């Protein structure tokens, strides 16, 4: 299954902004929504094509409330994500699987203190919030894979990282 993750803009409450609008709520109604990170919503689709189609359907909302839309396709990687433009190029056949790994954006994953408020004052029954998110994505580092290896994330001390493959245009 292909995964989609929408990362909200810092000044927005993504869960509320998407699910309070009828068209977005209806587009997302058939999916089991989760919150893997602070101010993020994730779901599973049947393919990269279905993921890109859903993102296209939600484009008006993504432009206004989403900082980044990510797609994780198991045929590409079980651990790395694709940016929306790269997922679109892959779906359209404009890029081969082997050509997706060179340019990356690496986010640091920072643990959220259990006592810290994640800013989510509106709860919605449509999103699984059991326990809430325990991590937040912090400042991305743009890196280029060399000899199959990614440089280490060095912007701050973090427990883990999330790698997003991007197009060359997004990289520059």
Distance CA 100, CA 102 (A): 6
Model pTM score? 0.87
Distance CA 105, CA 7 (A): 14
Angle, alpha carbons 1-124-72 (nearest 5°):
20
Q: Which residues contact 12 (CB under 8 A, 6 or more apart)?
A: 39, 65
109 - beta bridge partners? 137, 160
Structure tokens at 138: 């912090």
Using a 10 angstrom Cβ sphere, with 0-12 exposed, 13-18 middle and 19 or more buried, the burial of residue 130 is exposed
What confidence tens digit (pLDDT) does each residue in 6-51 have? 999 988 899 999 999 999 999 999 999 999 999 999 999 999 999 9
Residue 127, pLDDT > 70, answer no
Question: Do residues 91 and 48 lie in contact, with contact meaning Cβ atoms separated by under 8 Å?
Answer: yes
What confidence tens digit (pLDDT) does each residue in 71-113 have? 999 999 999 999 999 999 999 999 998 899 999 999 999 998 7
């Amino acid at each position: 299954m292909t995964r989609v993750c929408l990362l909200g803009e810092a000044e927005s409450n993504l869960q509320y902004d998407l699910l309070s609008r009828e068209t977005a709520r209806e587009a997302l109604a058939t999916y089991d929504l989760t919150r893997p990170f602070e101010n993020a919503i994730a779901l599973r689709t049947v393919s990269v094509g279905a993921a890109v189609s859903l993102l296209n359907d939600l484009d008006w909302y993504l432009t206004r409330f989403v900082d980044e839309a990510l797609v994780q396709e198991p045929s590409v990687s079980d651990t790395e994500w694709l940016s929306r433009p790269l997922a679109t190029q892959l779906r359209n056949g404009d890029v081969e699987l082997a050509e997706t790994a060179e340019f990356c954006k690496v986010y640091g994953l920072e643990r959220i203190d259990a006592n810290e408020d994640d800013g989510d004052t509106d709860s919605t029954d449509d999103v699984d919030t059991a326990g809430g998110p325990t991590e937040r994505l912090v400042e991305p580092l743009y890196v280029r894979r060399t000899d199959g290896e990614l440089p280490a994330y060095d912007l701050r001390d973090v427990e883990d990282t999330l790698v997003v493959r991007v197009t060359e245009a997004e990289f520059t």
